[in-house]
Amino acid sequence: MQEWENIRIVGLSRLERVLAIFDVYLDLDIPIKKMKVKVIEGQNKVLSGITNLLVRSEYPPDSFEGAVGHGSTVEEVLEDTLLYFVDMVKRYQPKGTEDFEWAAPEDF
């Protein structure tokens, strides 16, 4: 039987495997206190993480940015993603709920 990352089907552009989803409880000076981090593996074996909580960014105006992370293990990806999120909060200094947006539910 072939490995999942070698599956190729006409009409499908790629497959990703969800390795972990973490509930993250925040102790930051922001109004939202919980988010999720999803760690995925692509068909190219690259691991990446994304948050379901996006922060209003400066450029382009009124856009929202989610934290992303990379690494060679689930733990490295989780830590890199969380460090990026904390850095975004420090950089953009969101204050109210209007400074945040949730990722699409089907993405998590």
Q: Torsions phi, psi of 11, nearest 5?
A: 100, -10
Check pLDDT > 80 for residue 1. no
pLDDT at residue number 60: 85
First CA to last CA distance, the chain: 29
Instruction: Name 2's Cβ contacts closer than 8 Å, sequence gap at least 6.
Output: none
Q: CA 24, CA 50: separation in Å to the nearest integer?
A: 12
Residue 56 and residue 66 in contact, taking contact as beta carbons nearer than 8 Å? no
Residues 67-94 have a mean pLDDT of: 98
Check pLDDT > 80 for residue 95. yes
Residues 64-80 have a mean pLDDT of: 98
pLDDT at residue number 41: 98
Token duo for residue 94: 């969101």
Higher pLDDT residue, 55 or 58?
55
Q: CA 48, CA 31: separation in Å to the nearest integer?
A: 26
